Amino acid sequence: MATTEGSLVRLESSAFTHQGYYRQRNEDAYLEQPDRCLWAVCDGMGGHLAGDYASQWIIRQLAATDLSERLGESVTTIKRCLLDCNRHLWGYSRTHQLGQIGATVVVLLLHSGRAVVIWAGDSRIYRLRGQSFRQVTDDHSYAQELARATGRPPDYSRPGNDAITRAVGACESLCLDSLVMEARPGDSWILCSDGVSGSIASERLEELLQSDTSPAEAIVDEALENGSRDNCTAVCVRVHGSHLSAPSSSTEYI
């Protein structure tokens, strides 16, 4: 459990990852930097340790970014970092003849009363605010793409529908989704890989987020108990305090 305190707010976060009981290695990785108000989860893909390399490379580069006191500059820096990671991993796979490698990524930055979410793939962010718990990100997967095209709920039961359509390093170019929303004291967040989100219903995620002093480990443990066949990673963030700098009340896509 990591905690950082400012004059008006206190951030509390926990993070946990597990290889799982069906995988030979853990291709997930996470970033937990409450002192910089920055968190991330990556889920690697590719054989012969390439998934490990991809996810760990992205996390190392994010950890080394120089963030600004200005929100826009920090967002630009994070996006540029991820695009640089994409170029590196694309070149690395070609140089070492590894085929397609890469990693999903989801990033949370809290800055000046705003929450910035940046992602590619199907690693997710959920937010709890008061009695409202919702998934903030949309999966970049075939199932979700079909759902958007047809207006029907996503169907993950059909073979291949769970395949992702975006990942850092998987293609020569990368399209990142991002949004900016209001951040408030009392908000809680979960970042997780699909080993978690595919094994725990959202209602239960909400309960675990509220009920445990180290919710990330409790969430991963329950995903494994529920039979997850993947690596499992969760990062949980809680915002305590009475005031955050006043933001715009609207959600902005950037």
CA distance to 43, 105, 170, per residue, from 118 (Å): 15, 8, 17
Is residue 240 within 8 A of residue 37, CB to CB? The reply is no
pLDDT band at 235 (very low <50, low <70, confident <90, very high): very high
Boundaries of every domain in the chain? 2-247
Cα–Cα distance measured from residue 2 to residue 237, given in angstroms and rounded to the nearest whole number: 9
pLDDT band at 79 (very low <50, low <70, confident <90, very high): very high
pLDDT band at 49 (very low <50, low <70, confident <90, very high): confident
Cα–Cα distance measured from residue 200 to residue 208, given in angstroms and rounded to the nearest whole number: 10
Token representation of residue 233: 């990673």
pLDDT band at 242 (very low <50, low <70, confident <90, very high): low
Whole-prediction pTM: 0.90
Is residue 78 within 8 A of residue 63, CB to CB? The reply is no
Helix (H, G, I), strand (E, B) or coil at 89: helix
Cα–Cα distance measured from residue 198 to residue 226, given in angstroms and rounded to the nearest whole number: 10
Q: What is the spatial order of strands in the sheet that 232-241 belongs to?
A: 2-5, 9-18, 232-241, 188-192, 124-129, 132-135
Is residue 21 within 8 A of residue 40, CB to CB? The reply is no
Helices (H) and strands (E) in the chain, counts: 6, 12
pLDDT band at 8 (very low <50, low <70, confident <90, very high): low
- As beta bridge partners, residue 33 has 38
pLDDT tens-digit map of 102-143: 999 999 999 989 999 999 999 999 999 999 999 999 999 888
The yes-or-no verdict on residue 253 having pLDDT over 50 is no
Cα–Cα distance measured from residue 174 to residue 104, given in angstroms and rounded to the nearest whole number: 11
Residue 227 φ/ψ, nearest 5 degrees: 95, 20
pLDDT tens-digit map of 170-211: 999 999 999 999 999 999 999 999 999 999 999 999 999 998
Query: What is the rounded average pLDDT of the residues 12-27?
Result: 95
**At 59, which amino acid appears?**
I
Site of tokens 């769970």 = 162
The yes-or-no verdict on residue 3 having pLDDT over 70 is no
* Whole-number average pLDDT of the chain: 90
The yes-or-no verdict on residue 40 having pLDDT over 90 is yes
**How many percent of the chain have pLDDT more than 70?**
91
| Conformational region of residue 160, where left means phi above 0, alpha means psi within -120 to 50, and beta covers everything else | left
pLDDT band at 251 (very low <50, low <70, confident <90, very high): very low
CATH homologous superfamily for the domain 2-247? PPM-type phosphatase domain (3.60.40.10)
Token representation of residue 81: 């970092």
